[in-house]
Structure 1
Amino acid sequence: MSPAVVAALRDEMRRSEDVFVMGEDVGEFGGVFDTTEGLFEEFGSDRVMDTPISETGFIGAGVGAAMAGFRPVVELMYVDFAGVAMDQIYNEMAKVSYMSDGAFDVPLVLMTAVGMTPYQDPTHGQSLYGTFAHFPGLKVVVPSSPHDARGLMHSAVRDDDPVVFMAHKQLMLGMTDFADGLAEPAPDEAYEVPIGEAEIRREGEDVTIATLGLHAHRALEAADRLDEEGIDVEVLDLRSLVPLDTDRLFESVERTNRLLVVDEDYRSYGVSGELIARVAESRPGALDAAARLAVPDTPVPYSPALKEELDPGVEDIADEARAMVD
């Protein structure tokens, strides 16, 4: 997905000189996850700015620049380090517009990498979707394909509100097989994927799997396996957590009457429980069964074998969906 992100950033930077990128290793190095590959050569150090290892400093600077009328894209290399700058994120970035009664907008994109990869420790492998979705004032998007990565980045840069753009490392670097329908390169021209619209990746009648990011691919693979058993799975790719496309979620569950939520964040107080609660509150008559697959409430281990035990895999998803239908 990284070339799609780079293409969107390049287009937006050509479109407006108010758009610039800043963060650790985004310059000549091109970003640890190739998110800024080639941008330094075209735009130079004034608009592709390497920063010290000071998340508090450069995220705070990004908020100030956004208040001054720029449209910064600030890369937080790993989402795990958001805690270092949490005051800038949830007390400034998220609240400035509210506290100023709309006198100041904060058109800032906080671009960050999420998810587990082999041989990364507990402070480099979290997803934390629910953490950012919990803060009023932030929009949160999670692309699962090159097409959506480019379109959502265009939308995020052009949005007058702060947007957290959360991309899975394995998808950015091509470390995993992409599911059919999600692997195609992004179109060459600029386009927007609307923030707040989910996408049905596969239609079905027996159970809805609502998911996002890497797990959209795993859910589609699980659905293919279950199809051979006569179980018809619908896969709903959320794409956006804030705003959340509850209309499409409710419509899907009303068709299937079963909801399985899969994500790579921690199980408690997260996205999985929130989606089930939304459906239970608003469409209680449509819900015959609900379940969630997420990461147990324990730090992400360094060991790849232990990670496999924690991270919902294709077989885990298939087993849970099968049990719900049985």
Structure 2
Amino acid sequence: MATITYREAVCEALREALRADERVFLLGEDIAEFGGSMKVTQGLLEEFGHKRIRNTPISETAILGAAVGAAATGLKPVAEIMYCDFFTVAMDPIVNQGAKMRYMFGGKLSVPLTIRSPLGGRRSAAAQHSQCLEAWFMHIPGIKIAMPATPYDAKGLLLSAIADPNLTIVFENKMLYNTKGEVPEEPYQIPFGRCNVVQEGSDVSVVALSDMVGFAQQAAEQLAAEGISIEIIDPRTISPLDIDAILESVQKTGRLVVAHEANLTGGVGAEIAAQVAYRAFDFLQAPIERVAAKDTPIPFNPLLEKEILPDDSDIVQAVHRTLDYGT
């Protein structure tokens, strides 16, 4: 095991995939000499050359249109969208083409396309560079979605995505790139649809996505000092979603808090809450709590941004509310 950053883990996965399969290539804005906006692809050009590490025009529609076409004709592109906010100008290649082609051709055609994209705020990047849009894509059948929270998961899930014959999006939270963790030096894959129980507990189940896993761990320390035990579940992937593991936890604790950075209305938390309410209603001892950003554009001002985005204090308050219910 080596201790490396999340950024290095992603780069390591890309390097291993490029070495293992000559059909794999990368494309995106400034990913070659510059190494990408988050410096994830730095150093890959020197080993693999411009044919496989391709800079593109500043056109997300061109990037994803080319990537879908390349995948449909037998290559295995890994496209980078500089900020997930920029998906908005290129939805057709993903939603109407890449996500549907394998189904429409009866499995005779595959679209082994992986799309990487940073998401999230906490950097004073303002409303057009700080969103979390994963719920949009969760709504579309035919798209697999990963949201790795650790360097270990970042490498293993990305390698699984590249090996998958379906269109897959891997969302990388910007605030995680400098975090460190132990990562095997050899290639490995983490199956989609299998959550990680980060911490076992008995009083409240907390399902946390992406960077909210770290905030949940901070909340767990504060709550433990009060004698409250929370179980932290990281879904890792939201499509497919390991709902059975979440249900198993709720059946044990009787209470659920779902936390994500995306804004509250229409978020992934609403879908998880709906499924748990439908399938484990008799086990719930309190209403399900959701922790999320407020329903407003993300401001540039760092004090306002901090007020809008959720953190460990919001998880602590949600846990208290669910425990206080009915008392």
TM range (shorter): over 0.9
Query: Any idea what SS the aligned residue of 1:201 has?
Result: strand
What residue is the counterpart of 2:3 in the other structure? none
Structure 2 matches for 1:26-175, cutoff 5 A?
26-172=31-177, 174=178
Are 1:206 and 1:233, in contact at CA under 8 Å, matched by a contact in 2? yes
What residue is the counterpart of 1:321 in the other structure? 319
What residue is the counterpart of 1:236 in the other structure? 233
CA distance in 1, matches of 2:228, 2:149: 24
Are 2:217 and 2:232, in contact at CA under 8 Å, matched by a contact in 1? yes
CA distance in 2, matches of 1:35, 1:140: 19
CA distance in 2, matches of 1:293, 1:45: 44
Are 1:4 and 1:185, in contact at CA under 8 Å, matched by a contact in 2? no
CA distance in 2, matches of 1:310, 1:274: 22
- The TM-score normalised by the length of structure 2 is 0.96
Paired amino acid for 1:60: G
Offset at 1:184?
A: 1.7
Paired amino acid for 1:42: E
Are 1:128 and 1:266, in contact at CA under 8 Å, matched by a contact in 2? no
How many percent of aligned residue pairs carry the same amino acid?
41
What residue is the counterpart of 1:16 in the other structure? 21
Offset at 1:161?
A: 0.6
CA distance in 2, matches of 1:17, 1:169: 29
CA distance in 2, matches of 1:272, 1:160: 28
CA distance in 1, matches of 2:108, 2:294: 42
Structure 2 matches for 1:122-271, cutoff 5 A?
122-172=127-177, 174=178, 183-271=180-268
Question: What's the CA shift string for 1:204-224, capped at 9, x where partnerless?
Answer: 010011011100000011011
Offset at 1:118?
A: 2.2
CA distance in 2, matches of 1:241, 1:63: 22
Paired amino acid for 2:38: F
- Within the alignment, does 1:3 sit opposite 2:8 as a pair? yes
What residue is the counterpart of 1:309 in the other structure? 307
Question: What's the CA shift string for 1:263-284, capped at 9, x where partnerless?
Answer: 0112111111111100011111
5+ residue gaps, structure 1, are none
Offset at 1:185?
A: 3.1
Paired amino acid for 1:126: Q
Are 2:124 and 2:305, in contact at CA under 8 Å, matched by a contact in 1? no
Query: Any idea what SS the aligned residue of 1:185 has?
Result: strand
Query: Any idea what SS the aligned residue of 2:265 has?
Result: coil
Query: Any idea what SS the aligned residue of 1:184 has?
Result: strand
CA distance in 2, matches of 1:185, 1:29: 27
Paired amino acid for 1:220: Q
Question: What's the CA shift string for 1:53-97, capped at 9, x where partnerless?
Answer: 011011100000000111100001100010110011100111111
Are 2:122 and 2:306, in contact at CA under 8 Å, matched by a contact in 1? no
Paired amino acid for 1:305: L
- The TM-score normalised by the length of structure 1 is 0.96
Offset at 1:258?
A: 0.4
Q: Return structure 1 stretches of 4+ with deviation > 4 angstroms.
A: none
Are 1:122 and 1:302, in contact at CA under 8 Å, matched by a contact in 2? yes
Question: What's the CA shift string for 1:160-200, capped at 9, x where partnerless?
Answer: 1111000000101x2xxx5xxxx423111110011111111
Question: What's the CA shift string for 1:224-268, capped at 9, x where partnerless?
Answer: 110010000000011100000011010010111100000011211
Question: What's the CA shift string for 1:77-125, capped at 9, x where partnerless?
Answer: 1000101100111001111111112121100001000000322010000
CA distance in 2, matches of 1:117, 1:109: 26
Query: Any idea what SS the aligned residue of 1:231 has?
Result: coil
Q: How many residues align?
A: 318
CA distance in 1, matches of 2:294, 2:100: 31
